[in-house]
Amino acid sequence: MLEILNENVLWWYWILFGLALLGAELFSGTFLMMGLGAAAVLTGIAAAVLNTDFTTELAIWSLLSIGAVIGWYRYIFQPTLTDSGQSDYRLDTEGTVTEAITPPDRGRVVFDIPVLGNREWPVTAAVSINKGERVKIIEINGQLIEVESIK
């Protein structure tokens, strides 16, 4: 079987295969086939320049494809550089109560620095807190922030 492939698979087959994968990428939207297609095109170029057999070309394509997939997943799954939008974002941020907080009702606080893009937020607390008192964030639940008085 390999003898047949060695004799019949020409370098430009790899380039066509790579272009087909790149074209298929347009319909998938995952960018995975882009790496496989680029690897196939590079394999075709290497096959044209180095005049290799099919087994070597397959090894080149495999190594390039594995490298492309590993590189892509490392790029996709990079750790975020900020904790913006996370549940523990800006805990301990301080602010001033502008509307008194009386549980279970909400009050309002203006924070010293913006929290999730805004400085003023509706807040809740476990105990009553008067207007003008200083508070800090202890928990963020979606769009609702829980605070406690700074003592």
**Least confident segment among 14-18, 25-29, 67-71:** 25-29
* Token pair for 37: 């297609």
Q: pLDDT tens digits for 69-128?
A: 999 888 887 776 555 555 556 688 899 999 999 999 999 999 998 887 788 999 999 999
Q: Which domains does the chain have, with CATH numbers?
A: 2-76 (no CATH), 94-149 (2.40.50.140)
More confident residue, 16 or 90: 16
CA distance 145 to 114: 13
pLDDT at 91: 80
What's the predicted TM-score (pTM) here?
A: 0.54
Q: Please name every residue paired with 149 in a beta bridge, in sequence order, or none if there are none.
A: 135
Per-residue b or e along 71-96, where b marks 16 or more CB atoms closer than 10 Å to that residue's CB: eeeeeeeeeeeeeeeeeeebeebebe
